[in-house]
Amino acid sequence: MLNKYPMWKNIMVMLIIAVGGFYAIPNLFGEDHAVQIVGTRGFEVNASTQSTVTDLLASKNIAVKRSELENGQLLVRVKDAEQQLLAREVISEKLGDKYTVALNLAPATPQWLEAVGGSPMKLGLDLRGGVHFLMEVDMGEAIRKMEVAKIADFRGQLREEKIRYAGVRKTVRGIEIKFRDAQVLDQAERFLKTRGQDMVYSDISSNGNFVLLANMSDTYLKQIKEDALQQNMTTIRNRVNELGVAEPIVQRQGAERIVVQLPGVQDTARAKKILGATASIEFRMLDDKADAAAANSGRISPSSEVFDRRGGGKAVLKKEVMLTGDHITGAQPSFDQYSRPQVSINLDAKGGSIFSNVTKNNVGKPMATLFIEYKDSGDRNEDGSVKMTKIEEVISVATIQQRLGRNFVINGLDHKEAQSLALLLRAGALIAPVTIVEERTIGPSLGAENVQSGVQAMIWGMAVVLLFMLIYYRAFGFIANLALMANLIMVVGVMSMIPGAVLTLPGIAGMVLTVGMAVDGNVLIFERIREELLAGRSVQQAIHEGYGNAFSTIADANITTFLTALILFAVGTGAVKGFAVTLMIGIATSMFTSIVGTRSIVNALWGGKRLKTLSI
């Protein structure tokens, strides 16, 4: 029988629309004003912190709607913005600088809805408000660190090859390697050239001094800068994600800069702390032969340096860096067979090889973990860049028990120190310090105005379309309007279900465009039905041929637009990508509602009946 769907197909249509509507529901509940608390520099938020905070707020008559401790961060929801500011003030005063206390907005979705995966759409910076940073990577420091690593490589490689050298040092001309005679210099040059094309070597011997000069090639310098930018982006993204900022945006801008956007974070100063210290980590050998009293007075070996220990005291370390933290891929606190705390470290392949070579001759000796932090001094260099203050401290000293590889443990810590060290290492190390060269705050009120403007544009556009369809196509126009409403609900539902989807102001424009495209499909179908009726076809034949003949045209138009949106998503960034995501989702849902959804309703109302006229 013409124009009759089987029961399973009608149930499928209703089920798909119902699922989309269900996951769109969380967007009706709005957001709560909240205070987010995260430990900094290795301090951890736990149940004790949660109890302290809730008791403190209760004593200040600040009503707590809900307190949530998850993934090492505490989120405390309060009644309104005024209590939010007051809560932040009293919590910061109580906890001190060991914790970051930031203002935030948290979805007010009921817990039962969250339990089944329901959550509202993630809003971009232009709709939700938040902070925007433009960060610049110190490429000079990245190159300096690579030069230090190269010096260590030269020493190790020449020792392994049993080529005797008099010294390796960094000068203004490059890395100079001294030898005792020309024959050994030639041997070393031939050997080093076989180790790769990263360095350019030249013999600068003079007056009985046999010196081989090594400089980085232009290609290698370019690669160092690219790696520094990419690794810093990854590290910053990991830090922000671990701190729980909803849908952050971290992307490159040019050759040396990174854009960081944190939607929902309202306080620029606190947001800087959320990003964490621009820090790196180095593993060095402890100079256990140094005299403590002499070290305190500054009298140490030229090959050693004195650093402060976290918690007090001094430590004398060798200048040679064994390994930097950029090779760490994982760090977790654990316990050994005697239930003593330790930190399990995982390195990448290159880091494992380096560490194996440098630890095989240092078994039984103490190794230190040096934490290096760069802070804005407030001054500027001659070229206008920010002058950084370098702060260094030893956070751990442990004994090397055996030759180490890609996986090893650091012991000699108590439980709290092990957890703190694991957090620091897991956060990742920036291969070069970064400075914030631009910061901008978009207030929640401006974001709310953007949302209101976008929603109003959509409402007015839909109202005009709905009215036109109802007047021009009568009963069929009413069905098209139902499909249009279902399409919009499904777009919101799908956007809410996809974890990485973020709605921006251009995304709202994409939704408005989707409304037009959704109704366009129905117009094509209805006009084909009218043409079939005018050609003398029966009502049932006209409906059947109208949907069948219009399908190819609708599919062609929508598929080409979908492919265009896919290209925009692949090559675009930020707002362009947000527009593309919304458009692709809208195209898929509009094809479903305009072709399958309306057909289901039409079949249910008129399918299989003997009709002489049709309200179209």
**Residue 17: its pLDDT value, please?**
92
Question: 338-390: per-residue pLDDT in tens?
Answer: 788 887 887 877 788 888 888 887 888 888 888 777 666 656 666 665 566 77
* pLDDT value of position 244: 52
Mean pLDDT score of the chain: 81
Task: For residue 608, count CB atoms less than 10 angstroms from its CB and return exposed for 0-12, middle for 13-18, buried for 19 or more.
Answer: exposed
Per-residue pLDDT at 294? 66
Res 246 pLDDT > 60: no
Model pLDDT, residue 178: 92
Q: Please, are residues 270 and 295 in contact by the beta-carbon 8 Å criterion?
A: no
Question: Which pLDDT band, with edges at 50, 70 and 90, does 511 fall under?
Answer: confident
- What local confidence, expressed as pLDDT, does residue 18 receive? 92
pLDDT tens, residue by residue, 434-452: 777 888 777 666 667 777 8
Residue 24 confidence (pLDDT)? 92
Cα of 160 vs its chain's centroid, Å: 41
User: What's residue 439's pLDDT?
Assistant: 80
Q: What confidence score (pLDDT) does residue 1 get?
A: 52
Spatial CA neighbour of 612 closest among 537, 551, 532: 537
State percent of the chain over pLDDT 70: 87
Q: What are the pLDDT digits (tens) for 591-611?
A: 899 888 999 998 888 887 887
**Sign of the Cα pseudo-torsion (203, 208, 210, 211, in order):** negative
CA angle 250, 254, 256 (to 5 degrees): 80
What is the torsional sign of CA 538, 539, 543, 549? positive
- Determine which helix (DSSP H) or strand (DSSP E) holds 466, and give its type and residue range: helix 444-497
How many Cβ atoms are within 10 Å of 485's Cβ, its own excluded? 14
Confidence check: pLDDT of 232 > 60: yes
- pLDDT tens for residues 381-428? 666 655 667 778 887 787 887 787 778 777 666 776 676 667 666 655
Least confident of 27-36, 98-107, 201-210, 359-368: 98-107
At 437 the three-state DSSP class reads strand
How many angstroms separate the first and last alpha carbons of the chain? 22
DSSP structure class, residue 209? B
Q: Using one digit for the tens of pLDDT, what is the confidence trace for 123-161? A: 877 777 778 888 888 888 888 878 887 887 888 888 888
Half-sphere exposure of 50 (CA within 13 A, CB side): 15
Question: Would you say residue 477 has pLDDT above 80?
Answer: yes
Token pair for 279: 């820090």
Considering Cα of 25, then 30, then 32, then 36, what sign does the dihedral take? positive
pLDDT over 70 (residue 238): no
Rounded Cα distance, 249 and 132, in Å = 9
- What pLDDT sits at residue 132? 83
Q: pLDDT confidence of 193, banded at 50, 70, 90?
A: confident
Amino acid at 550: A
Contact 275, 236 (CB under 8 A): yes
Euclidean distance between CA atoms 495 and 505, whole angstroms: 14
Instruction: Report which residue type is found at 445.
Output: S
> Which of 262, 275, 153 is closest to 216 using CA atoms?
153
The C-alpha angle 56, 61, 67, rounded to 5 degrees, equals 55
The pLDDT of residue 23: 92
Share of residues in the chain with pLDDT > 90 (%): 8
Average pLDDT over residues 551-578: 85
Give the pLDDT confidence score for residue 21 in this predicted structure: 92
Specify the DSSP class assigned to residue 593: I
Q: Can you tell me which residue has the tokens 């039409």?
A: 602
Segment 216-224 mean pLDDT: 88
Domains and CATH numbers, the chain: 7-26+443-606 (1.20.1640.10), 35-107 (3.30.70.260), 140-219 (3.90.1070), 221-440 (3.30.1360.200)
Reference 598, options 486, 474, 461; nearest CA is 486
Side-chain half-sphere exposure of 312, counting CA atoms within 13 A:
0
pLDDT at residue 460 greater than cutoff 80: yes
Q: CA quadruple 316, 320, 325, 329: dihedral positive or negative? A: negative
The residue among 188 and 431 whose pLDDT is bigger is: 188
